[in-house]
Structure 1
Amino acid sequence: MSSVSIIGLGTMARTLAARALAGGNAVEVIGRDPAKTGEVAAALGATAGAVPTGDIVILAVPYAGAGPVVAQFGDALAGKIVIDIANPVTPDLKGLATPDGSSAAQEIAKAVPASTPVVKAFNTVFGHVLTPGRTLDVLLAGDDTRAKTSVSAFIKSLGLRPLDVGGLEMARWLEGTGLLMISLAGHGVGSFDFSLGIDLLG
């Protein structure tokens, strides 16, 4: 099992923390407000932290907040695996807020220490559908094979199925898929109560 630091106190952070704990992982939660962080950690049965100590660090913050978080922790992220889960959508939900040809994950990879691999994952799964008992597909991308193996093992511990889509250059397409899912929720599906999965035929 993994030791995981989750930065953020929102719905996705709490849901991932709960599933990670249920899967036997050691979980640390980190937030800007120490008192609220302590309350969330106590409610979950996790540890409240101030600086990430886990082997895997999940950035469960909006894209706009990822850069400041990485700058804040700096060398404390060295040698760890960072998972970026953000969907960097524009306020009108019609595009991505990242530089042309790049992605949130690639921008984060430029900012973390050189020894810190970044993996894109979980952005194509809505937080509220991650309830226990549902085996959902989690698409992931990254350049470091060993990091992806570790993240895949972590995903499996959550009772989910990891599906590797390739190198980190694929992260922008995963983020585009996240935007597509948001648009589907507002149009063809009509709600956010769905998941994206892969069926093997034959």
Structure 2
Amino acid sequence: MEITIFGKGNMAKAIGHNLEMGNDVSYYGSHDTVQQFGDLVIMAVPYPALEKIAQQYQQELSGKVVVDITNPLNFDTWDELVVPADSSAAQQLQADLPNSKVLKAFNTNFAATLMSGKVGNNVTAVLVAGDDQDAKNVLKDALSKSPLKVMDAGKLSRARELESVGFMQMTLAASKQIGWDGGFGINE
């Protein structure tokens, strides 16, 4: 599968590490010009960059599966999410890309746990929210050769809860209560 990743930071590399197992992955910075997109597009950029990329490439992303990994928190204060209480960054991205299939995923994972495939003794679980089951299957198939466990977290409206969990993990790590190689694990 052809996959496009916006972003070149730790999260982009960690996600790409898993997607490169059986897929063709191309990386672009948020300011790069993209001529051709894969069927799966990962937005591994800071939250403020989402809107600009969506506006620039709305037509080109039509029909594509677009994965938002952002946690839209206030990085000045680290005390709030900056999206309305009844929405999420992923829902905003879906509104900006009405002809794309937007998913929320990877925002509850740290780069280290994506690279290792483990959170403590648990397999790293990638929680995925979205309204299109076929889009979820595209992401699951793309990760099928990786050690990650993909779990369906429900409709795109569940992205708000995923963003809250991601925010909580980040604040725990920033306050040194857990490491950036930790996080919440799921036992079966």
What is the TM-score with the length of structure 1 in the denominator? 0.84
Cα distance, 1:95 vs. partner? 1.1
Cα distance, 1:51 vs. partner? 3.2
Is the CA contact 2:44–2:70 (under 8 Å) kept in the aligned structure 1?
A: yes
| Inter-partner Cα distance in structure 2 for 1:79 and 1:139 | 22
Residues 49-58 or 138-147, more deviating = 49-58
Aligned residues: 183
Structure 2 partner of 1:82: 66
Residues 151-160 or 172-181, more deviating = 151-160
Per the alignment, do residues 161 and 190 of structure 1 end up closer, same or farther by CA in structure 2, a change over 3 Å counting?
A: closer
The structure carrying a bigger helix percent of its residues is 1
Is the CA contact 2:104–2:156 (under 8 Å) kept in the aligned structure 1?
A: yes
Structure 2: gaps spanning 5 or more residues? none
Select 1:124's aligned residue among 105, 108, 113: 108
| Inter-partner Cα distance in structure 1 for 2:68 and 2:41 | 9
Structure 1 partner of 2:147: 159
Structure 2 partner of 1:4: 3
Matched, 1:141 2:129: yes
Per the alignment, do residues 62 and 33 of structure 1 end up closer, same or farther by CA in structure 2, a change over 3 Å counting?
A: closer
Cα distance, 1:76 vs. partner? 0.4
Per the alignment, do residues 122 and 133 of structure 1 end up closer, same or farther by CA in structure 2, a change over 3 Å counting?
A: closer
In structure 1, give the amino acid aligned to 2:29. G
Is the CA contact 1:137–1:161 (under 8 Å) kept in the aligned structure 2?
A: yes
The higher relative CO (CA closer than 8 Å, separation ≥ 6) is in 2
Structure 1 partner of 2:24: 26
Cα distance, 1:149 vs. partner? 1.3
| Inter-partner Cα distance in structure 2 for 1:155 and 1:50 | 23
Give runs of aligned pairs for residues 21-100 of structure 1, distance below 5 A: 21=20, 23-32=21-30, 50-91=34-75, 92-100=77-85
| Inter-partner Cα distance in structure 1 for 2:184 and 2:23 | 25
Give runs of aligned pairs for residues 161-180 of structure 1, distance below 5 A: 161-180=149-168
Structure 2 partner of 1:107: 92
- Aligned CA RMSD, in angstroms, stands at 1.8
In structure 1, give the amino acid aligned to 2:88. S
What is the TM-score with the length of structure 2 in the denominator? 0.90
Per the alignment, do residues 159 and 190 of structure 1 end up closer, same or farther by CA in structure 2, a change over 3 Å counting?
A: closer
Select 1:195's aligned residue among 180, 183, 188: 183
Cα distance, 1:132 vs. partner? 4.5
Cα distance, 1:193 vs. partner? 1.9
